[in-house]
Amino acid sequence: MRQNVPIVAAMGVILLFAACGRPAPESGTPAANSVPAPTAAPAAELAKAARVPPTWETYHGAPSLDGASSVSLPNTLTRIWRYDSGAPVSNTPVVGNDRVCLADKKGVLHGLDLNGKAVWSKPFSYPAAQGKPQTPVEFEAPLALFESTLIACAASGVIYAINATDGELRWECNTDYPILGTPNFATVRTDGETQKRLFVIDQSEGALQCLDFASGKRVWRGEGVARCDGSAAVSDAFAVYGSCAGALHVFSTVTGNMLREIPLDEDSQVAGGAVLLGEHAFSSSRSGKFVHVNVQTGTTLWVNANCDAEAFSTPAVGPDRVVFTANDGVVYALDRQTGDLKWRQKLGDTPSSPVIAGDKVLVSAGGTLYMLKLLDGEKLWSYAVSDEITSPALAGSLVVVGADDGSVAAFGGG
C-alpha cells in the first residue's frame, strides 16, 4: 500500500507490482456540488469543538488503521485554510499535539498549528560525498505521530523521531533496510512492566522490527515473510499485515513470534494496510478479494468477491460498514457482519484509501476530494484541489489533504 501511503499509497493507494505492480495548481474552483465560502470559523476552534480530539496518528487514523471517526460533518464543506510547503506532498498529513505535520518531496518536515500557520520546518539531507552536493532525504513511508513524537522513515532506512511541538530531533536510528509502510505504535506488557514500542517493516523481506519508542533501540526483529509494500496494524497483543505471499501474517507485539499465517490465494497479494480491531482483521487484495478474519483463531469469517480489480487501498471500518476502493475507480461498501455488498460508487481515476466520518465517507480520486453518504454511497459534495491529492486526514472536524502542487488544505463546516 502505500498506504496512503504516498498519493499512491500511504497508503492511500499502493503501487505494488514493480516487484510482486501499480496509484494544476489549485484552481480554487470547487467541483460539482461543492459549496465554497471565503470565510469560516478559525480552524483551531472547529477542531476543538469536534466530538473527538484533533488526532490522526497515522495515514489512516489510529494504530488499528481503521480509518474511522465518530465526528459529525455537514453535507458540504468549506476550505478553511491552505498552506504551501514548496514541494509536492504525497503522503497524508498526521495530526496530534495541536500540530498538523507533513513531509514534502524536498526532504522537509513541516509542523503547522491547527489554523494552518507554520510553526517549524526542518530539512533533512543525506551526507554529501566529497565534491558533491547534498541530496534531500526521501520520506516515502507515511509519517506517524504518537504522544507528541513525529516518526519519519527515510527511504534509506533511517528513522527520525522529532518533537512535534518544535521540530527538534529526539533520536535517529539506521535500520539498513527500506521502509515503505507506516511506522506504528503500541503499549505492551512484558516482564510485568508496561513498554512503549514502535514497529516498522523491512519492505524487502517483510520482517517486522520492534524498537523502543523512547530511544529507537531495537528490541526484536521478526522472521521475514515476503516483500511487503503495505503497513502493519497493531494492538497491545497483535500485529497483522499482508505481503506478496498472498497471505495475512499475525505476530505477537510482545515477543515478535509469528503466531499464524492466514492464506488468501496466489492472486491475492496484499499491498495495502490491514485493519485490526480486537481479534478481527480486514484486508483487500490484488485480486479484488476482500476478507474478514479472526487473528486469534486464524479463521476466515467471510470473503467478498464483488470486486475483480486490484485493491491496494486500506479499508475504513465503521460499526456496521466496511468501505474500500479499487483500481477500477469504484468505492465499495460492505456489511461488516456478513460481507454482503451494500453499494458501489464509481468515481473514476484511482481512489485513495477512504475514511469514515460518522455517517459520511471521505475519499480522494483524481485530485478531487469527495464526500459520500455512508448509507447508500450518494455523492454529497466534491472539491477539485489539484492533479493528485493524498487520502484525507481528520483533525477533529477538519478534513486535511496534501497535494502534488505542494499545498496542504483543510476543509470544515463554514
Rounded CA-CA distance 268/265 in Å is 5
**pLDDT of the residue at 48:** 46
Cβ contacts of 144 within 8 Å, gap of 6 or more:
57, 58, 59, 94, 150, 151, 182, 183, 184, 185
Give the span between the Cα atoms of 260 and 253, in whole angstroms.
13
Confidence class for position 45, pLDDT limits 50, 70, 90: low
pLDDT at 316 over 70: yes
100 DSSP β-pair partners:
95, 112
Residue 47: per-residue pLDDT: 47
Query: Are 364 and 401 a contacting pair, CB within 8 Å?
Result: yes
CA dist 8 and 6 (Å) reads 5
pLDDT digit string, tens, across residues 367-378: 999 999 999 999
Average pLDDT over residues 276-301: 97
Asked if the model's pLDDT at residue 37 lies above 60, the reply is: no
**Residue 40: predicted pLDDT:** 47
Give tens-digit pLDDT for 101-144: 999 999 999 999 999 999 999 999 988 777 778 899 999 999 99
Q: What is the pLDDT of residue 53?
A: 59
Higher pLDDT, 51 or 260: 260
Q: What whole-number distance in Å separates Cα of residue 5 and Cα of residue 285?
A: 16
Domains and CATH numbers, the chain: 43-412 (2.130.10.10)
What is the residue-averaged pLDDT of the chain?
89
Q: Considering the entire predicted model, what is its pTM?
A: 0.88
Cell of 230: 503495505
- Weakest mean pLDDT among 2-16, 91-105, 344-358, 387-401: 2-16
Examine the pLDDT at 165 and tell me if it is beyond 60.
yes
**Residue 333 contacts by C-beta under 8 Å, 6 or more apart in sequence?**
321, 322, 323, 341, 342, 343, 344, 361, 374, 377
- Closest alpha carbon to 80 in 404, 397, 406, 405: 397
Q: Pick from 306, 304, 309, 315: which is nearest to 338 by CA?
A: 304
Q: Are 4 and 11 in contact (CB under 8 A)?
A: yes
- The rounded Cα 410 to chain-centroid distance in angstroms is 17
- Comparing 14 with 209, the larger pLDDT belongs to 209
pLDDT at 177 over 80: yes
| Per-residue cell: 40 | 469560516
Q: Is residue 255 classed as helix, strand or coil in its secondary structure?
A: coil
pLDDT at 184 over 90: yes
265: three-class secondary structure by DSSP? coil
Res 6 pLDDT > 50: no
